[in-house]
Amino acid sequence: SQELEQSPQSLIVQEGKNLTINCTSSKTLYGLYWYKQKYGEGLIFLMMLQKGGEEKSHEKITAKLDEKKQQSSLHITASQPSHAGIYLCGADRRNRDDKIIFGKGTRLHILP
């Protein structure tokens, strides 16, 4: 079955620094989603990538999907305390309609 591996599991960065979170799939991704979760709350949709080589940005967060559609990276530029939380990647599971599988998440802490 398709699985998503996220790395790193946990990340601590100084405010103002850049950082990257990776999401790797064992199979080709048909749709890749990035979500953010503030501690103890629900998930907030960030962006969706579908095409190989696609890149999207939202404020200081940029996500890319590689050409082979098996790896995505989420990059945050000049991190701020508001970026702290858990970032999850999710992917379409095409053999079971309309469901998304998730990575285990990356816990991001921002040091002031």
Residue numbers at the binding site for another protein (CB under 8 A): 31, 33, 35, 40-45, 48, 88, 90, 92, 98-105
Judged by beta carbon, residue 1 or residue 112, the one nearer another protein is 1
Q: Minimum distance between the CB of residue 84 and another protein, rounded to whole angstroms?
A: 17
Residue type, 94: R
Question: 31 or 77, CB closer to another protein?
Answer: 31
User: CB 79 → another protein: shortest distance, Å?
Assistant: 23
Distance (Å, whole) CA 85 – CA 28: 27
Q: Which is nearer to another protein, 17 or 58 (CB)?
A: 58
Tell me the CA distances in angstroms from 81 to 58, 75, 110, one per residue in order. Answer: 16, 15, 5
DSSP SS3 for 97: coil
Report d(CA 106, CA 112) in Å as an integer. Answer: 19
Query: 3-state DSSP call for residue 13?
Result: strand
Q: Rounded to the nearest whole angstrom, what is the least distance from the CB of residue 78 to another protein in the complex?
A: 27
